[in-house]
Amino acid sequence: MVKISVRNLKAFTKKQEILKGISLDIHENSVTAIIGPSGCGKSTFLRSLNRMNDFFEDIKVEGEVLLDNKNIYDKDVNVFELRRHVGMVFQKPNPFPKSIFENVAYGLKIHGIRDKKTIEEKVIWALKEANLFEEVKDKLDESAFSLSGGQQQRLCIARAIAVEPEVLLMDEPASALDPISTLQLERLIEKIEKGVYHCNRNPQHTTGRKSL
C-alpha cells in the first residue's frame, strides 16, 4: 500500500530552487532512506512531508504530497493533526528541559489525554519501543539532559512514537552520535520497521549496509 505519494514536489526560495519536481511513492510498513550530499535538500524534502517548512517564510512549496490520498497542502488540512500523524526526529537530539517521563508524556498531554494511568502506560510503552526503558526506568523523574547523546536521541524517538504516528520522519538521527549509539539506533529502526511504523530516515552517517 502506498502511504505517501509525492507528486512533482518543488520547493524554492527567492534565490534558488531546492527541490526540483520530486515524485515518488513511499510504502506502508517499510523504511525508506534518502541519501545525498549535504545541502542537496534532504531536510527540506523531509520537512515538506509534515509541513515543518511552513515555519520558513522564504521557502515556498509547490506540488502535492498525498497522505492516504489526501493532499496535505490542501486548505482544509489541520496542520497540527497532520504532524501528529507524521512525526519527526531531528538531527540533533532535542529533548525538552523536562524530566525523562515528562518529555514522552508531553505529546500525549497536548493531544488531550488526561488520565494519569493511560499516560503512564503509554510512556512506558514508548520508552520500551525505543529500547530505552531498561536504562532509565529508575530515573524517570530526572532531567532529560542527564542522559547521554545517544540516549537523548532514543528519548526523542520515544517521544515521537508515543503519540502513535503513522509515519516517522528521521532527519539524519545518528549524525551527532558515536558509533555504538548509532548501532543501537539502527537496531531500533529495524525494530520499528517490523512493527506497524512507516519510517523514513536519512542515513548519511549511518552505515549504507542496508539498502532500504
Partner 1 sequence: MDKLTKEKIFFTIFRLLAFTSLLIVLTLIFYILSKGLKVISLNFIIDYPRNSFTEGGIFPAIVGSLYLVGLAIIFAVPIGVLGGIYLSEYTKENPLTETIRLAIDTLSGIPSIIFGLFGLAVFCKILNLKVSLIAGSLTLSILILPTIFSATIESLKLVPKDFRDASYALGATKWQTTWEIVVKTALPNIITGVLLSIGRAIGETAPILFTGATFYTRGLPESIFEPVMALPYTIYGLLAEGTFPQKQVPIAFGASIVLIVLVFIITLPGIIIRNKFRSKKKW
Helix or strand run (H / E) with residue 167: strand 167-170
- 103-109 LR contacts (CB < 8 Å, sep 24+): 103/144, 103/155, 103/158, 103/159, 104/155, 104/158, 104/159, 104/162, 105/162, 106/159, 107/159, 107/160, 107/162, 107/163, 108/162, 108/163
| Choice from 6, 52, 67, 192 touching partner 1 (CB under 8 A) | 52
Nearer to partner 1, 103 or 206 (CB): 103
Binding partner 1 (rule: CB under 8 A), the pick from 8, 23, 29, 94 is 94
Q: Binding residue for partner 1 (CB under 8 A) from 111, 137, 139, 187?
A: 111
Q: Does 173 bind partner 1 (CB under 8 A)?
A: no
Compute φ and ψ for 153, nearest 5 degrees: -70, -40
- Binder to partner 1 among 41, 53, 90, 151 (CB under 8 A)? 90
Residue 58 makes contact with partner 1 by CB under 8 A: no
Nearest-angstrom CA–CA distance, 33 and 63: 21
CB of 110 to partner 1, least distance (A): 5
Which stretches of the chain bind partner 1, using CB under 8 A?
50, 52, 55, 57, 80-85, 87-88, 90, 92, 94-97, 106-107, 109-111, 143, 145, 156, 159-160, 163
